[in-house]
Chain A
Amino acid sequence: MNQDHKAPVHKILNHSIVDGRGNRTAVFLQGCNFNCAYCHNPETIDWKDPTVSLTWMTPAEVTNRVLANVPFVRGVTVSGGECTLHPEFLRAFFWDVKDRGKGKAPGGGNLTTLIDSNGSYDFRKDPELLKVTDGILLDVKEGNPEMHRELIGASNVQVLDNLVYLAQRGKLEEIRTVVVPGRTDPEETIRTVARLLGEHRKQATYRLIKYRPMGVRKEMLKGLKVPNNHTMEELRNLAVELGFGKVIVT
């Protein structure tokens, strides 16, 4: 694999228990093609901004960072920004992790690779990447196309296509929806996801995330409300009723 594809690394967390199954190293790449109003790490959106602190690293360099955390991590999750903006890096990095991470997970398993994505990347066209990726944590920010465009500034057609395709391929690690009262229609989103997934929803994990203002750009805060626990519980109940395998509210 070509080790020349450097990626702009925003930061690396040696220990994260909120980025997929088990304890993982989380790598945050700089740059995003979405511009979500409620983004809680907006400093990762622009990767051409010269004031942003980032480190260009080769796949092997990042793998070394992951291996330094053996035997405490089950694998790595690459997040962003939007990490699929750097597919060449991802392919080489995951290939390297799988190659050098054999038998290195706690208890002796192989290190696993996850992608945290906004779903804008066409995974159908990159079988090589899917081959070395164990799963994708897929954001489905909004099921309604108009609301999606308004909230994100981009279409959700590709996101919903990925949802179905990844589920069919057994690569849908988790679906994630942030609940922002008034700005999203989480009920419709959950129903849309359930309908599109069909039988696959029984194996799917759905994470419903409460919007929180921490980190959000000041100019965006207006009109963003934190949902109450009651709303979150109602949504949980809906997702459970619709037959998702596992529903998590955070």
Chain B
Amino acid sequence: MAEEQGKKWTLAQHQEKVKSIISDETLTPHQMTYALAAAGRDLLDTPGMDAQVEADYRDMKAKGWICDLNEGDVTYMPRYILPDYAKLMEKGSDFLRLSPPETLLDAIMALLAMYSSVPSVTHFPVYIGRLDRLLEPFVKKEMEKTGGEETSFQMIKMFLRTIDRTVFDSFCHGNIGPEDSKTIRLILRAERELQDSTPNLTLLYDPKVTPDELGALAIETALDCAKPSFAKDSLFREELGDHYGIASCYNGLPVSGGAYTLTRLILARVAEGAKDKEDFMTRALPWAIDTMLAFMDAKIGFLVKETPFFQTNFLVKEGFIQPDRFNGLFGVVGMNECVNTLMEKEGKDGKFGYDVGADNLALEIMDFIKDRVDHHENPHCPFWKGRFMLHAQVGTDADSGISPGTRIAIGSELPLYDHIRHAALFHKYFPSGTGDIFPFDSTAAKNPEAVLDIFKGAFDSGMRYISTYSSDSDVIRITGYLVKRSDMDALEKGEAVLNDTVVLGLTSRQKSKIEERKVRKVEEE
């Protein structure tokens, strides 16, 4: 339901909205269609919410405490879907009229065909599989046939380039590793040559499995083209099982499953709305959590019971996904500002990241949120034992003065090791995703083993996900997604660019000082 200041829109307002979409000169036909779909969806009310809770929700949404991340009140498709693409390789797909691939070209074609039928909140696939594992058997065959790797390399490069040019947004995520293979090296080589923002890429890293030399090569690649990021494979496997993937920005989710919805609690705003710490902990926070839980319940109930997706979609029917592996994601954002606001209201000086009292308050808040969310049951989330998963939401382009998840604000960064140790305090709360970014001076590329040491240390310290890019790379990480600096510059000058996400990147660059993120030098006292 569309609303303004908590009041439902009139029919005339809806009509005005539709008119403005179809007359907007800046929208491509695709973007226009997606905007119209959202406008249609917004005619519906959230079903199944208690009247008082719904009133509270409207109020909190208007105040900016809770944000639906443009999903609207009703969801008719899961936000994140992680199909089991290995099944496509084994069995093909009846719906897509594809038999099991036999050659590398077949395999690439089959994947590209399937990607266009995997929906999500952005209408584009947010997970495109473990690319090296999917393609390795075909690459090996191709190399035997051609007696070298060049043909395979060219095909993989075309594959990745096609994804960049047909998936117009950077929330599309491929996974590689942890083991070494011919294909993983071809992918890294291709990414360095392509310098594209899509797909996002994560190395599922395990120092016991991934050779150091490959780990260093991945770092060198990241310092060249801002990907891959590194995920602590052993931790994700422990929590989610072997069959997991990293989707969208950095979201750990079960493969053959995904997430129904992600709604976020903007802690920074909730803190502003509380009198003091006690009011925050005993009234505002629990009230906001409970309201958001009720909203998520209603939304998931509608998706599961009132829409046909889980009954009729070929992904379900052919076993690429299983309804019992989907979950609700309870997002939190703006811890940095939340803690600083509460400290100020308490008349204390300490700042998040710089004061033990402030950091302990953040941990107390996280423990409280985790406990309350864990005590809430939703019948449609059997994978996570009926609970929602916590997620450190990375922000949106609309945010101003709200730092991603539990990250320290840009401009307030700590010395390298202290910053990593601080980030690590919070990573345990977020099995469905969190992460921090450490750009390095470009000369770090001469000693990638050193950056690998730091990443290993970060994982040993309790971090689960870490990214880097270099001070002079064109592709950079905004919050979780990637954008080309050259695309943002072009858009800023009023030129059209292909990728939707560039708009988000440019707004964030202007509002959230992304390019002022502390670049780590090759040495630090």
Query: Hey, which chain B residues are within 8 Å of A19, CB to CB?
Result: 523
Select from chain A the residue with minimum beta-carbon distance to B421: A72
Are B524 and A106 touching (Cβ within 8 A)? no
Q: How far is the CA of A19 from the CA of B460 in the complex (A)?
A: 23
Q: How far is the CA of A26 from the CA of B525 in the complex (A)?
A: 9
Are B523 and A26 touching (Cβ within 8 A)? yes
Interface residue A226 (Cβ < 8 Å from any Cβ of B) = no
Q: Which of B477-525 contact A (CB under 8 A)?
A: 520, 522-525
Query: Hey, which chain A residues are within 8 Å of B290, CB to CB?
Result: none
Are A71 and B461 touching (Cβ within 8 A)? yes
Are A17 and B457 touching (Cβ within 8 A)? no
Interface residue A73 (Cβ < 8 Å from any Cβ of B) = yes
Per-position contact with B for A22-39: 1 when CB-CB < 8 Å, else 0? 111010000000000000
Select from chain A the residue with minimum beta-carbon distance to B216: A22
Q: Which of the four size classes fits the interface of chain A? A: 20 to 34
Per-position contact with A for B452-463: 1 when CB-CB < 8 Å, else 0? 111011101100
- Interchain CB contact (< 8 A) of A72 among B207, B453, B522, B523: B453
A12 with B447, Cβ < 8 A, contacts A69-B417, A74-B453, A106-B457 known? no
- Interchain CB contact (< 8 A) of A22 among B450, B520, B523: B450
Select from chain A the residue with minimum beta-carbon distance to B455: A106
Interface residue A15 (Cβ < 8 Å from any Cβ of B) = yes
Are B525 and A12 touching (Cβ within 8 A)? yes
- Interchain CB contact (< 8 A) of A15 among B416, B449, B456: B416
Are B456 and A17 touching (Cβ within 8 A)? no
Q: Which of the four size classes fits the interface of chain B? A: 20 to 34
Q: Report B141 CB to chain A, min CB distance, Å.
A: 35
Are A72 and B449 touching (Cβ within 8 A)? no
Query: Hey, which chain A residues are within 8 Å of B457, CB to CB?
Result: 23, 70-73, 106
Q: How far is the CA of A13 from the CA of B522 in the complex (A)?
A: 10
Interface residue B446 (Cβ < 8 Å from any Cβ of A) = yes
A23 with B451, Cβ < 8 A, contacts A15-B416, A71-B460, A71-B461 known? yes
Query: Hey, which chain A residues are within 8 Å of B416, CB to CB?
Result: 14-15, 72
Query: Hey, which chain A residues are within 8 Å of B415, CB to CB?
Result: 14
Select from chain B the residue with minimum beta-carbon distance to A24: B450
Interface residue B444 (Cβ < 8 Å from any Cβ of A) = yes
Interface residue B420 (Cβ < 8 Å from any Cβ of A) = yes
Interface residue A18 (Cβ < 8 Å from any Cβ of B) = yes
Are B525 and A73 touching (Cβ within 8 A)? no
Q: Report A144 CB to chain B, min CB distance, Å.
A: 28
Query: Hey, which chain B residues are within 8 Å of A11, CB to CB?
Result: 525
Q: Report B447 CB to chain A, min CB distance, Å.
A: 5
A71 with B456, Cβ < 8 A, contacts A15-B417, A17-B444 known? yes
Select from chain B the residue with minimum beta-carbon distance to A70: B457
Query: Hey, which chain A residues are within 8 Å of B520, CB to CB?
Result: 15
Q: Report B410 CB to chain A, min CB distance, Å.
A: 20
Q: Report B233 CB to chain A, min CB distance, Å.
A: 14
- Interchain CB contact (< 8 A) of A106 among B443, B446, B460, B522: B460
A15 with B460, Cβ < 8 A, contacts A72-B417, A72-B420, A107-B207 known? no
Select from chain A the residue with minimum beta-carbon distance to B441: A17
Q: Report B229 CB to chain A, min CB distance, Å.
A: 18
Q: How far is the CA of A11 from the CA of B524 in the complex (A)?
A: 11
Q: How far is the CA of A21 from the CA of B453 in the complex (A)?
A: 10
Select from chain B the residue with minimum beta-carbon distance to A207: B446
Most buried by B among A12, A13, A71: A71
Are B417 and A17 touching (Cβ within 8 A)? no
Per-position contact with A for B223-244: 1 when CB-CB < 8 Å, else 0? 0000000000000000000000
Query: Hey, which chain A residues are within 8 Å of B452, CB to CB?
Result: 22, 106
- Interchain CB contact (< 8 A) of A107 among B450, B456, B522: B456
Q: Report B452 CB to chain A, min CB distance, Å.
A: 8
Are B460 and A17 touching (Cβ within 8 A)? no
Select from chain A the residue with minimum beta-carbon distance to B460: A71
Select from chain B the residue with minimum beta-carbon distance to A17: B450
Q: How far is the CA of A12 from the CA of B472 in the complex (A)?
A: 28
Select from chain A the residue with minimum beta-carbon distance to B448: A17
Q: How far is the CA of A129 from the CA of B505 in the complex (A)?
A: 54
Query: Hey, which chain B residues are within 8 Å of A72, CB to CB?
Result: 416-417, 420, 453-454, 457-458
Q: Report A143 CB to chain B, min CB distance, Å.
A: 25
Query: Hey, which chain A residues are within 8 Å of B447, CB to CB?
Result: 17-18, 21-22
A15 with B524, Cβ < 8 A, contacts A71-B461, A72-B457 known? yes
A16 with B420, Cβ < 8 A, contacts A22-B453, A107-B207 known? no
> Taking beta carbons and an 8 Å cutoff, which residues of B are in contact with A?
207, 415-417, 420, 443-444, 446-447, 449-454, 456-458, 460-461, 520, 522-525
Offer 21 A-B interface pairs, CB within 8 angstroms, sorted by A.
A13-B524, A13-B525, A14-B415, A14-B416, A15-B417, A15-B520, A15-B523, A17-B444, A17-B522, A18-B523, A21-B449, A23-B450, A23-B453, A71-B457, A72-B416, A72-B420, A72-B454, A73-B453, A105-B453, A106-B456, A107-B460
- Nearest 8 CB-CB pairings of A with B: A17-B450, A106-B456, A72-B457, A23-B450, A23-B453, A16-B523, A71-B457, A15-B524
Known: A22-B449, A72-B453, A105-B453. 20 other contacts (CB 8 A): A13-B523, A14-B416, A14-B417, A15-B454, A15-B523, A16-B522, A16-B523, A17-B451, A17-B523, A18-B523, A21-B447, A21-B449, A22-B453, A23-B453, A71-B457, A106-B453, A106-B460, A107-B207, A248-B446, A250-B443
> Taking beta carbons and an 8 Å cutoff, which residues of A are in contact with B?
11-19, 21-24, 26, 69-74, 105-107, 248, 250
